[in-house]
Amino acid sequence: MNRSQEPIPVLLASRVRTDEKRIMAALERRGIAYRYADSRTLWGLLGRGENAPTVVLNREIGQARAQYAATLLEQQGHQVINSARAVEVCGDKWRTSVTLEQAGLPTPRTALALTPEAALDAFEHIGYPAVVKPLTGSWGRLVTKVPDRETAETVMEYVSALPSPASHIVYVQQLVAKPDRDIRVIVIGGVPLGAVYRRSDHWRTNVARGATTQACPLTDDISKLAAAAADAVGAEIAGVDLIEDADGRLTVLEVNHGVEFSGFQAVLGQGLHVADRIADHLIARLQSCSKSL
């Protein structure tokens, strides 16, 4: 693209899922030209790129690729949604917890142990039951409930045997006594669009693990906390996960930078079009980018 041309938005992804197709369709309905870029073919030289700066919607599903894609594109002068910082913070559970705590937002008691042996002391301080989570990952994979000291010793023995030194760094979190549900809120441009409950008979309430979704009232408390969490991590488009304790107090569990919204959309129905809101936000950022040229 020549620098004299008007920039067009780019949708970056290695897999074009239903969500990405909906975003593309929303742009097409608005008559907005866009370009799809397969992140598996992306490369670039250090320094400003030859193409005119534009806005890139980063929908890469892989954490490492999403993070480095954002870093590469930003150093070339492009505006990336979500930013490299947001992807890095949201993609690391410890960094997310640190950021939320620094922003003064309620989050479960959390500890980081640099060895499995040290983790046993962390468990004693956090208290049982607790949860061990991988620092990176999604969909509830490898999240382990630890009800007592004996289980902790067994789990840490397995962790010690893992080959990667990074695997020996242990993220320990309080298991909050909660109803059979958590709350997912989608926030775009600082505005919460809506909320859904994710319900399950299992203590993990990830949809990928079979949880069902139903509409959740978007109360002022839910809306303010979700917006504050997205702002804290710097995510323009975010899926914020909240949990309620036994007394109904809300806590931020995590913030997702590459939020999937098909299930969310299906529950909230035709009154709310997530893809349209994403498209509108992308267009607004593109207009801002054009004025700066």
| pLDDT above 60 (res 204) | no
State how far the alpha carbon of 9 is from the alpha carbons of 19, 275, 279, in Å: 17, 15, 10
Q: Indicate which CATH number applies to the domain containing 217.
A: 3.30.470.20
pLDDT of residue 183: 95
pLDDT confidence band for 67 (50 / 70 / 90) = very high
Question: Which segment of 162-176, 207-221, 223-237, 239-253 scores lowest on mean pLDDT?
Answer: 207-221
pLDDT confidence band for 2 (50 / 70 / 90) = very low
Question: Are 247 and 211 within one domain?
Answer: yes
pLDDT of residue 1: 36
Is residue 13 one of the residues assigned to a domain?
no
State how far the alpha carbon of 166 is from the alpha carbons of 133, 139, 230, in Å: 13, 20, 27
Question: Are 210 and 225 within one domain?
Answer: yes
Q: Residue with structure tokens 């046993």?
A: 120
Question: Are 119 and 167 within one domain?
Answer: yes
C-alpha closest to that of 218 among 226, 207, 228, 206: 226
Give the domain range for residue 139: 109-174
The average pLDDT across 179-205 equals 85
Question: Are 264 and 193 within one domain?
Answer: yes
Q: Which residues contact 269 (CB under 8 A, 6 or more apart)?
A: none
Do the beta carbons of residue 132 and residue 123 sit within 8 Å? no
Domain-terminating residue out of 122, 143, 174: 174
pLDDT confidence band for 139 (50 / 70 / 90) = low
Is residue 188 one of the residues assigned to a domain?
yes
Question: Are 157 and 215 within one domain?
Answer: no
As a whole number of angstroms, the distance between CA 247 and CA 138 comes to: 27
pLDDT confidence band for 291 (50 / 70 / 90) = low
The average pLDDT across 30-37 equals 97
Is residue 14 one of the residues assigned to a domain?
no
Is residue 127 one of the residues assigned to a domain?
yes
pLDDT of residue 211: 67
